[in-house]
Amino acid sequence: MSILRLSSTQPGFHEQLDTLLSRETDTGDDIQNLVADILRDVKQRGDAALCEYTSRFDDWECTTATLNIGRERMQTAWNAVSDRDRQALELAVERIRSYHEHQKQENWEYTDDAGLTLGQRITPLDRVGLYVPGGKAAYPSSVLMNAVPAKVAGVEEIIMVVPTPEGELNDLVLAAAWVSGVQRVFSVGGAQAVAALAYGTETIPSVDKIVGPGNKFVAAAKRQVFGTCGIDMIAGPSEIAIVADGGHPEWLAADFLSQAEHDEAAQSIFVSTDPDLIDAVDAAIEKHLEILPRAEIARTSAETHGALIHVQSLKEAAEVINTIAPEHLELAMDDPDSILPMIRHAGAIFLGHFVPEALGDFIAGPNHVLPTNRTARFSSPLGVYDFQKRSSVIRATRQAVHTVGPAAAHLAHREGLQAHALTIELRLADKE
């Protein structure tokens, strides 16, 4: 196996790093055009188009009757999974809810010296759509990470769509929907599911926002419906960056592969000041790949997009990380706080030797829906704030208008908006 080796001292290091990070994660015109056609067709023909695409792509006989998965079926799935499954799901829901309760925003107001009372009012979205992938693997954790924050935010109705290849329903995914409070589930995926959520059909109601990861067709569809409804983000292939100055090579190698096994397009990068540790981790990666069930996927990911990077100092390591802006960042060090203040861009940060990324994926509490493809430079993890909106509140007394109104009217005239100015001047002329 050959994973790319880079060193901060070699000529052209930064150019090589940029090349490594420039994965093509967007979709080309052919996919964009195909998705546009699907969106338009579902918008125009509703359930008929939705079922045609579902039957074609997922290979089962879709009808309007079979699209809907009722709460009874979710409860049946909850009862069908094992006791250990239920206990794990309940613990995860409890921890995710507890963490996200801290994100709830509050209404506030203050009165300034001019006499205006200004504030902010927080209200939840009415209805959101949760997209859950259903291809190479089933992701009950994705259900929890999207549904629980929405419930904490106060969203009234959570609708879930999930592809069911060959008509197969995954009980663990439906159990997760049941325990996290999803009200309605529909057995549809792909761009057609995004279209249904955005525009509504006879069976599936339109939503205010679509959240959740998907393949490139789903990503293209979310991009195109933005504006008709909100979206959380355009999710790309998963990523992890690990900074270590010691520790167990076997642990670090497993952490490296934890994202590589997701997808051939995933990216894993290991950064260290210790060249001997890099060699040991490289050897341990190969050892793990001899026994992992998803070794072929992980190997392709590591060889195509992975890297082992030697740096001269923790300051250099931080600079590399800020360039990568990774989705997941492990600071697997005895003293991770020595480098933490230098980190500016990362979706989720795991501190120390005992916090593998997988802990955050399933049970720690913070959200695992994270910015990918370097968007951590300007984006944040999914949270309660994604399911709430802010309204500005303004109150003014007669005296307040007389205090600040002349300046407002002047600015309105300067912008050529005389009717704007008139609304203020009429109130300024009122002496009662």
247 touches 353 (CB < 8 A) = yes
Work out the angle at residue 350's Cα, subtended by the Cα atoms of residues 216 and 339, and round it to the nearest 5 degrees. 115
Domains of the chain (ranges; CATH) run 4-25+236-364 (3.40.50.1980), 29-108+124-231 (3.40.50.1980), 396-429 (no CATH)
Specify the pLDDT at position 330. 98
Q: What pLDDT does 1 receive?
A: 60
Long-range contacts of residues 342-347, Cβ cutoff 8 Å, at least 24 apart:
342/314, 342/315, 342/318, 343/318, 345/321, 345/374, 345/376, 345/377, 346/241, 346/321, 346/376, 347/371, 347/372, 347/376, 347/379, 347/380, 347/381
Confidence check: pLDDT of 430 > 90: no
User: Model confidence over 180-227: pLDDT tens digits?
Assistant: 999 999 999 999 999 999 999 999 999 999 999 888 899 999 999 999
Phi, psi of 353 (to 5 degrees): -85, -15
Mean pLDDT of 130-146: 85
Q: What is the CA radius of gyration of the chain?
A: 25
pLDDT band at 26 (very low <50, low <70, confident <90, very high): low
Strands 127-131 and 157-161: parallel
25 pLDDT above the threshold of 60:
no
Phi, psi of 5 (to 5 degrees): -110, 130
pLDDT tens for 298-330 read 999 999 999 999 999 999 999 999 999 999 999
Q: List the catalytic residues.
A: 327-328
Region 336-352: mean pLDDT is: 98
Cα angle vertex 173, ends 167, 174, to 5°? 80
DSSP-derived letter for residue 226 is B
Cα–Cα distance for residue pair 246/273, rounded to 1 Å: 9
Tens-digit pLDDT profile for residues 96-120 = 999 999 999 999 999 999 999 999 9
What's the first-to-final CA gap in the chain, in angstroms? 85
Band of residue 166 on the pLDDT scale cut at 50, 70, 90: confident
Mean pLDDT value of segment 378-398: 97
The confidence band for 137, taking pLDDT boundaries of 50, 70 and 90, is low
Flag whether the pTM goes above 0.85: yes
3-state SS, one letter per residue, for 29-52: HHHHHHHHHHHHHHHHHCHHHHHH
Distance in angstroms (rounded) separating the CA atoms of residues 310 and 317: 9
